[in-house]
Amino acid sequence: MTMSAGVRKFALASHLTFAVGWIGAVLAYLALGVAAEASTSDETVRGAWVAMELTGWYVLVPLASATVLTGLVMALGTRWGLFRHYWVLISFVLTVFAAVVLVLHMPTVSDSADIAREADSARLEGLGGDLAHPGIGLGVLLVIQVLNVYKPTGMTRYGRRREYDSVAVAP
């Protein structure tokens, strides 16, 4: 079943907004992580960790969740399907993977933010910044973006079978 043109355009605009927003929020989060890592100011380190926690829970997690949901709507409601083309399936699996890793990582961010709120200068120096998770996550999101723009050819076994069945049934 495919969506009407108007609904499809709205779903696509929503999906693109959430996905690109997620990438932008990861960049902002990375900037905060760099600030926490590079700064010698206790206030900057504390502020960066508190901002990373807030950005994570109130921006990144909602954008990731909305991206997964709208991506599923786009896959199931358009001719591309979820299981017909490798690029769609790989994009969806990577998106779900990135969202799950994010949600699982956020309690650690909250713990670090709690430490930053209460820590003395010596303990703050050892806290550093959160760079690995968002850096790798950004790489994954950019791979997904490239897959969705270039749409490499290649149908799954299921997609080829559906294609063959639709051609065989046609009068």
Our count of domains for the chain comes to 1
Burial zone of 71 (CB within 10 Å; 0-12 exposed, 13-18 middle, 19+ buried): buried
Q: What's the pLDDT score for residue 109?
A: 97
CA distances, 32 to each of 27, 70, 76 (Å): 9, 28, 36
Q: What's the pLDDT score for residue 153?
A: 86
Span 127-143, pLDDT tens digits: 888 999 999 999 999 99
Q: List Cβ neighbours of 149 (8 Å cut-off, separation of 6 or more).
A: none
Assess contact for 89 and 83: CB atoms under 8 A: yes
For the entire predicted model, the pTM comes to 0.89
Domain that holds residue 130: 5-169
In this prediction, residue 169 has a pLDDT band, given cuts at 50, 70 and 90, of: low
* Whether the predicted pLDDT of 36 surpasses 80: yes
Span 39-89, pLDDT tens digits: 999 999 999 999 999 999 999 999 999 999 999 999 998 888 888 889 899
Span 21-32, pLDDT tens digits: 999 999 999 999
Q: What's the pLDDT score for residue 168?
A: 66
Look at 45 and 126; give whichever has higher pLDDT: 45
Assess contact for 75 and 158: CB atoms under 8 A: no
